[in-house]
Structure 1
Amino acid sequence: MDQRLLDKVHQLPPMPQVVQSLIASFGEADVNTDDITRKLASDQVLTAKVLRMANSVHYGAQRKIASVNDAVVLLGFDALRTLVLASGLTSTLTAPEGFDIKQFWRNSFDMAAVCKWLASFTALNRETAFTCGMMHNIGGLIIHIIAPEEAEDLDTIGTADPWLFTELGSALAERWHFPGSICHAIRHQLAPGQAAIQEPLAYLLFLANYIEATYCSSPEAVAQNMPELALAKLHISQDALMAKLVELESAKGRFDALLS
């Protein structure tokens, strides 16, 4: 990667402290949820966004979630972490004028929903899968932030290199200390089979990219060239996946509360 771009990635602002604590919790066997909820509660803006999302129909709470403690009890820590990460991302990264940031995040959350749905067919953690999907194209936003003139040229002449986006996204994930499995998945999502380490999350992103690209044509189009290696690596039956494909409609498009 261009060292100049990499240096600029490392100059991007850090995540809020509570979000950094939650990223670190991915690798902790015994998470101190009380400490993290106290930190979250002290950030009123972030708390407001999280509670607004937690009360949306997507999470289906049986009663109103009025506090961070309620969110932990009713949603579970993993789901709360996902919401805080999503809130932190949308708040920390601001795009230059002319970039449709809301549409970018809608697309990212749709991909995240596909990843979470796919994870339900595997032993992978669904919230971790959601985080991978949410971060999968973060490099596309980064290039507009750190090199807006170059990004505009790439958009105009249509020569954007998808590998550049995955490298930038992985570099940012590493800067923010996301787990190695998530950084690896972002970097190798376009060709997971070529990576030295066969990371299931990379195959999950690869498969989600395929489904997201073909499903817009028709549900039937998804089955035509299904990536068999990805299915095998994830131990997913194509028949089982196709039988539940209709669930994608209800899984996506529920995250606008994070964009306001």
Structure 2
Amino acid sequence: MKLQTLIDGATNLPSVPKIIQELIESFSNDDFDIDEIAKKVSQDQALTAKVLRLANSAKFGGNRTIGSVNDAIVRMGFDALRTLVLASGLTSTFKAPPGFDLKNFWRRSFMVANRAKWVANYTKENSEVAFTCGMIHAIGDLLLHILLPDQANDIDSLAQKGASKEELQKNQLGFDYTEAGEELAIRWKFPKVISDAIRWQNHPEEHDEEGAALASVVNIAIYLTNHAEEDKQTLLESFPSDLGNTLGINLVEMLGSIDQLDDVDAGIDELIS
């Protein structure tokens, strides 16, 4: 089975909203027009309602209720608004495939995203780009559940018993979720560093291009998510220090601040509601 042939023939391939593409382009564009983006966000009533609800929540609470996207930017900051719009736009793009827990999928995706942003702050990588990479790191797995639900569910059943999902997908389909995610990101016209980070998230050491650093950030974020329920000693004992060294992270500083992760997931349910 060829991945490109599968996607080319799909009639239910999700398309990303244009506002999402424009926001992602703004990562590398210092001349983007915040007012123009606010205007476009305001044209989407559901998105505006979510932005205002979060801006007036306890997390960003001020001494007055705000009622416009521009006021929300002032209170939240543009990076927070951009994160919210990206989250809302991407989560609303997909419908739950049969037998797939979409809410749990997005909750875990945002956990990885939050940790990717936290790790990126200790590197030279853009933390907002890292958040986006974390948010869509597993988008290829969701895509496979949309296009090949029976095969994907069978593979999931075995993966839950300890088998490698990546290896099973390659064995049965000829490609895995990282390759599917890369292809979808390319078709959505996302920057190459993002599609590369998705593709090489499990093996960043095998990639020597620009996206390798972001792939390493995502890899560490996945590790931190997988060990989120473990005690700090266990988490630190197996931490992928080799990737941290490759990224030039001051591990003493970063790992010494590991308790910050206890609060990093506040607000996830509001993002995926």
- Tell me the TM-score normalised to structure 1 length: 0.90
Q: Distance in 2 between matches of 1:3 and 1:255?
A: 33
| Residue-by-residue CA offset, 1:132-155 (whole Å, 9 max, x unaligned) | 111111112111111112212212
Check 1:100–1:186 CA distance in 2 against 1; reply closer, same or farther (3 A cut): same
Q: Is the 8 A contact 2:99 2:153 kept in 1?
A: no
Q: 1:184 pairs with 196, 200, 216, which one?
A: 196
User: Match for 2:214: what amino acid?
Assistant: L
Counterpart residue number, 1:244: 257
Native 8 Å contact 2:138 2:177 kept in 1? yes
Q: Residue 206 of structure 1 corresponds to which residue in structure 2?
A: 219
1:12 equivalent in alignment to 2:13: yes
Q: Secondary structure at the match of 2:95?
A: coil
- The gaps in structure 1 that reach 5 residues or longer are none
Verify the 8 A CA contact 1:129 1:201 in the aligned structure 2.
yes
User: How far off its partner does 1:19 sit?
Assistant: 2.2
* 1:175 maps to amino acid: R
Letter in 2 for 1:161: E
Matches of 2:9 and 2:90 in 1, distance apart?
A: 18
Match of 1:168 in 2: 180
Identify the residue that residue 147 of structure 1 maps to in structure 2.
148
Instruction: String of CA shifts for 1:142-169, please: whole Å, max 9, x gaps.
Output: 1111111221221233363266111111
**Mapped partners of 1:233, 1:62: distance in 2:** 41
- Higher RCO structure, 1 or 2 (CA under 8 Å, sep 6+): 1
State the Cα distance separating 1:205 from its structure 2 match. Answer: 0.7
1:62 aligns to what SS in structure 2?
A: coil
The answer as to whether partners of 1:23 and 1:177 remain within 8 angstroms in 2 is: no
Match for 1:187: what amino acid? R
> 2-side partners of 1:61 and 1:26: how far apart?
26
- Distance in 2 (CA, whole Å) between partners of 1:171 and 1:10 is 16
Does the 8 Å CA contact 1:79/1:127 hold for their aligned counterparts? no
The number of residue pairs the alignment matches comes to 259
Measured at CA, do residues 53 and 7 of structure 1 come closer, stay the same or move farther in structure 2, by a change above 3 Å?
Answer: farther
Q: Is the deviation greater in 127-136 or in 211-220?
A: 211-220
Q: Are 2:56 and 2:62, in contact at CA under 8 Å, matched by a contact in 1?
A: no
Deviation sequence 1:113-146 (CA, Å, 0-9, x none): 1111112222322222111111111112111111
In the aligned structure 2, how far is the partner of 1:109 from the partner of 1:156?
23
Aligned equivalents of 1:5 and 1:236: distance in 2?
40
The one-letter code matched in structure 1 to 2:136 is M
Answer whether contact 1:132 1:186 (CA < 8 A) is retained.
yes
- Which residue in 2 is equivalent to 1:125? 126
Structure 2 spans left out of the alignment, 5+ residues: 168-174
* 1:197-248, Cα deviation, whole Å (9 max, x unpaired): 1532111011112222233222111221322221112221222122111111
2:27·2:128 contact (CA, 8 Å) conserved in 1? no
Judging changes above 3 Å, is the alpha-carbon distance between structure 1 residues 242 and 205 closer, same or farther for their aligned structure 2 residues?
Answer: same
SS state at 2:86 partner: helix
Q: Go from structure 1 to structure 2 and tell me whether the alpha carbon gap of 1:168 and 1:50 turns closer, same or farther (over 3 Å shift).
A: farther
